[in-house]
Amino acid sequence: MTAVHNLPAQVPACWGVDPELFFGPADSAEGQPLFSWERQALRVCASCPLQAACLAEALKFPRDEQYGVIGGMTAGQRQMLLRTSRRQPSRSSATDTARNRRWLMQAAVRLHQAGHGPREIAGRLHVGERRVQRWLAAHRAEGVA
> Which of 104, 79, 107 is closest to 92 using CA atoms?
104
Q: Quote the pLDDT of residue 127.
A: 81
Q: Are 94 and 121 in contact (CB under 8 A)?
A: no
Compute the chain's Rg from CA coordinates: 16
C-beta atoms surrounding 63 within 10 Å = 15
The amino acid sitting at 105 is M
Q: Are 42 and 69 in contact (CB under 8 A)?
A: yes
**Helix %, strand %, coil % for the chain, to 5?**
55, 0, 45
Per-residue pLDDT of the chain (145 residues; tens, 9 = 90+): 444 455 556 889 999 999 899 998 888 887 788 899 999 999 999 999 888 888 888 888 888 888 899 999 999 888 888 887 655 444 444 445 666 778 888 888 888 888 888 988 888 887 888 889 988 988 888 876 5
Number of residues assigned to the chain? 145
What residues contact 29, with CB distance under 8 A and at least 6 apart? 76
User: Model pTM?
Assistant: 0.56
What residues contact 122, with CB distance under 8 A and at least 6 apart? 128, 129, 131, 132
